[in-house]
């Protein structure tokens, strides 16, 4: 399909469900879609479902009209079978493209969410109250409101994080001049002008779609070039759990599918409030919602490239907020990855988000717990993996740097073993050679593997003495990365974008 793309990591998938359990969940989802079916608040979607054989009837809510839809199993199965198992997510540079293949467990990690808060970290020196000679540096945190400058900074930093494979805007832009109508063009421009990897985001307003697409066509050179190298794609949470298709998001799905640019159909029910908390109930429901969303895309345009997007979370029992970084989160998510594989559709999954408010031990625990487990699942596209804190409410660049290091180690750990007759023969030769040498030391023979990147490095932020300097070292490392030049779009392209795409803040051009 393409010769050049990001390597990601090819894993041997760990499976939680056996084949029979996958089939039971599939059947349970189909049963849900038949009875009780779904509550569809978009007339066009309801009509399309009806045209293709669904049973549709109108129901009046207090404030709006709703169409109840009961899907025959055959309709869902037929539509889902048209979704491609393999497609490319493009990028400004060919080597940064992503090859998604439902049959190949190549795992990519990227950022995600649209946090309102940017957490800036500083180190501050403190003097002991008992002994003025004792000083220590402590991280201090400052909350900033997300804006276009900070989003551009996030993209620029993420460009330099070698284990980040794709960029979903991690920060909401709330500059005084940002309005719903220019929100999308600004967030896409701030991302694309600082990032040569794949960019993905949801749309705030459907009216902005044509401008965003035009921006992509200018960057790639033509409408055809953008479709061939879709350097951005979209996310649509078409379902409001439980089981309700949202009117305006359904409209966005229609319009995005018509552009031919890839789309994630994502659902994020919360176990304990908008979905059952027990594993079979949660997974059967989220799967039903995703299947219905994918069905919609395939009825609009058979063969349209779509990702199976699952973000199942659990409610905390003390306040009913989302609870990430808990065992159930992993269980729900890995089940969804297995279901996506069952349907032969690339999986957009979730890891690296937790409840910790600042970088530190809790954040590391929660992130490692999900980063590792979900990478083992073989999900093709894992989002939320960089920089998020306080669930999805904050983005912290230092945390993104820490996550990068952690994900690098995980990718290394899950690499396929290089054990074959050739490597065994090499090994036997080396053993003989070393045992015949005076010191019987293998160090010299480490070099080939070391320089090929097969030998992992120590933890990048370790301290030498009896101090925990991880955060300070990570901050220093981030500062170094931020000194590196931004990989902006060419000035002619930027000029053309500003000429043809209305609403982009002038400050973004100056920043470029």
- Could you list the residues that contact another protein (CB under 8 A)? 438-441, 443-444, 446-448, 450-451
Q: Which C-beta is closer to another protein: that of 426 or that of 500? A: 426
User: Please, what is the minimum distance in Å from the beta carbon of residue 454 to another protein?
Assistant: 13
Q: Which C-beta is closer to another protein: that of 140 or that of 448? A: 448
User: Please, what is the minimum distance in Å from the beta carbon of residue 444 to another protein?
Assistant: 4
Query: What count of other Cβ atoms lies within 10 Å of the Cβ of residue 38?
Result: 26
Cβ atoms of 282 and 275 within 8 Å: the answer is yes
461: left (phi over 0), alpha (psi -120 to 50) or beta: alpha
216: CB partners within 8 A, 6+ apart: 192, 226, 230, 231, 232, 261
Rounded to the nearest 5°, which phi and psi values hold at 364? -65, -45
Q: Which C-beta is closer to another protein: that of 63 or that of 439? A: 439
Q: Which C-beta is closer to another protein: that of 23 or that of 429? A: 429
User: Please, what is the minimum distance in Å from the beta carbon of residue 436 to another protein?
Assistant: 11
User: Please, what is the minimum distance in Å from the beta carbon of residue 427 to another protein?
Assistant: 14
Q: Which residues pair with 10 in a beta bridge?
A: 106
Q: Tokens for 494, please give them.
A: 């930027």
Q: Which C-beta is closer to another protein: that of 174 or that of 437? A: 437
Quick one: which of 157, 254, 283, 228 has its CA closest to 275? 283
User: Please, what is the minimum distance in Å from the beta carbon of residue 437 to another protein?
Assistant: 8
Q: Which C-beta is closer to another protein: that of 440 or that of 499? A: 440
Q: Which C-beta is closer to another protein: that of 23 or that of 444? A: 444
User: Please, what is the minimum distance in Å from the beta carbon of residue 429 to another protein?
Assistant: 9
Q: Which C-beta is closer to another protein: that of 138 or that of 455? A: 455
Q: Tokens for 346, please give them.
A: 């690339």
User: Please, what is the minimum distance in Å from the beta carbon of residue 438 to another protein?
Assistant: 8
User: Please, what is the minimum distance in Å from the beta carbon of residue 453 to another protein?
Assistant: 13
Q: Which C-beta is closer to another protein: that of 424 or that of 449? A: 449
CA distance between the termini of the chain: 34
Kindly tell me the sign of the dihedral angle through the C-alpha atoms of 101, 107, 111, 114.
positive
User: Please, what is the minimum distance in Å from the beta carbon of residue 340 to another protein?
Assistant: 40
Distance CA 372, CA 190 (A): 30
Three-state secondary-structure class, residue 17:
coil
Q: List the helix and strand counts (H, then E) for the chain.
A: 17, 23
Q: Which C-beta is closer to another protein: that of 62 or that of 451? A: 451
374: CB partners within 8 A, 6+ apart: 330, 333, 334, 337, 349, 350, 351, 382
Query: What count of other Cβ atoms lies within 10 Å of the Cβ of residue 380?
Result: 26
Q: Please, what's the b/e burial string for 318-346 (b: 16 or more CB within 10 A of its CB; e: otherwise)?
A: eeeebbbbbebbbbbbbbbbbbbbbbbbb
Cβ atoms of 290 and 307 within 8 Å: the answer is no
User: Please, what is the minimum distance in Å from the beta carbon of residue 465 to another protein?
Assistant: 13
464: CB partners within 8 A, 6+ apart: none
Q: Which C-beta is closer to another protein: that of 320 or that of 455? A: 455
Q: Which C-beta is closer to another protein: that of 19 or that of 437? A: 437
What order of strands is seen across the sheet that includes strand 9-10?
A: 9-10, 106-109, 381-383, 347-350, 306-310, 263-267, 232-236, 198-202, 166-168
- Indicate the burial class of 206 (C-beta count within 10 angstroms; 0-12, 13-18, 19 or more): middle
User: Please, what is the minimum distance in Å from the beta carbon of residue 131 to another protein?
Assistant: 23
Distance CA 340, CA 509 (A): 41
Distance CA 436, CA 424 (A): 19
User: Please, what is the minimum distance in Å from the beta carbon of residue 476 to another protein?
Assistant: 16
Q: Which C-beta is closer to another protein: that of 143 or that of 426? A: 426
204: CB partners within 8 A, 6+ apart: 180, 183, 184
User: Please, what is the minimum distance in Å from the beta carbon of residue 163 to another protein?
Assistant: 20
Kindly tell me the sign of the dihedral angle through the C-alpha atoms of 499, 505, 506, 510.
negative
């Amino acid at each position: 399909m393409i010769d050049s793309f990001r390597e990601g990591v090819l894993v041997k998938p760990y499976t939680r469900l056996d084949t029979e359990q996958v089939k039971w969940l599939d059947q349970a989802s189909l049963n849900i879609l038949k009875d009780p079916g779904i509550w569809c608040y978009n007339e066009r979607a309801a009509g399309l479902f009806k045209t293709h054989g669904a049973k549709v009837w109108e129901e009046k809510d207090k404030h709006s009209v709703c169409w109840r839809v009961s899907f025959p199993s055959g309709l869902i199965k037929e539509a889902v079978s048209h979704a491609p198992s393999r497609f490319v997510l493009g990028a400004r540079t060919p080597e940064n493209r992503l090859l998604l293949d439902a049959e190949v467990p190549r795992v990519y990690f990227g950022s995600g969410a649209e946090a309102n808060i940017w957490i800036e970290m500083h180190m501050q020196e403190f003097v002991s109250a008992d002994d003025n000679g004792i000083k220590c540096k402590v991280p201090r945190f400052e909350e900033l409101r997300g804006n276009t400058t900070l989003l551009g900074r996030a993209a620029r930093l993420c460009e330099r994080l070698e284990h980040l494979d794709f960029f979903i805007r991690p920060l909401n832009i709330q500059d005084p001049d940002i309005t719903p109508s220019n929100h999308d063009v600004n967030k896409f421009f701030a991302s694309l002008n600082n990032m040569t990897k794949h960019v993905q985001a949801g749309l705030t307003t459907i009216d902005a779609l044509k401008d965003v697409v035009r921006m992509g066509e200018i960057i790639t050179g033509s409408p055809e070039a953008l479709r061939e190298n879709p350097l951005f794609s979209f996310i649509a949470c078409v379902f409001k759990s439980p089981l309700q298709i949202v009117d305006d998001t359904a409209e966005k799905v229609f319009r995005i599918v018509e552009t031919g640019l890839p789309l994630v159909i994502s659902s994020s029910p919360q176990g304990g409030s908008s979905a059952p908390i027990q594993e079979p109930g949660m997974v059967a429901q989220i799967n039903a919602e995703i299947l219905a969303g994918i069905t919609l895309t395939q009825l609009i345009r058979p063969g349209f490239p779509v990702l199976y997007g699952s973000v199942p979370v659990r409610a905390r029992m003390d306040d009913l907020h989302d609870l990430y970084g808990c065992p159930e989160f992993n269980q729900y998510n890995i089940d969804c990855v297995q279901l996506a594989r069952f349907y032969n559709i690339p999986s957009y999954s979730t890891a690296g988000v937790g409840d910790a408010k600042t970088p530190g031990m809790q954040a590391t625990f929660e992130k490692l717990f999900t980063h590792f487990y979900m990478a083992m699942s073989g999900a093709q596209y894992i989002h939320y993996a960089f920089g998020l804190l306080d669930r999805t409410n904050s983005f912290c660049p230092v945390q993104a740097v820490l996550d990068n290091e952690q994900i690098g180690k995980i990718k290394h750990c899950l690499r396929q073993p290089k054990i074959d007759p050739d490597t065994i023969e090499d090994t036997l030769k080396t053993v003989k050679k070393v045992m015949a040498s005076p010191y019987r030391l293998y160090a010299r023979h480490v070099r080939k593997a070391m320089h090929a990147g097969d030998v992992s490095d120590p933890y990048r932020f370790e301290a030498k003495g009896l101090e925990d300097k991880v955060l300070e070292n990570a901050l220093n490392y981030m500062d170094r990365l931020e000194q590196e030049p931004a990989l902006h779009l060419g000035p002619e392209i930027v000029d053309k974008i500003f000429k043809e795409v209305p609403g982009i803040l002038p400050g973004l051009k100056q920043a470029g």
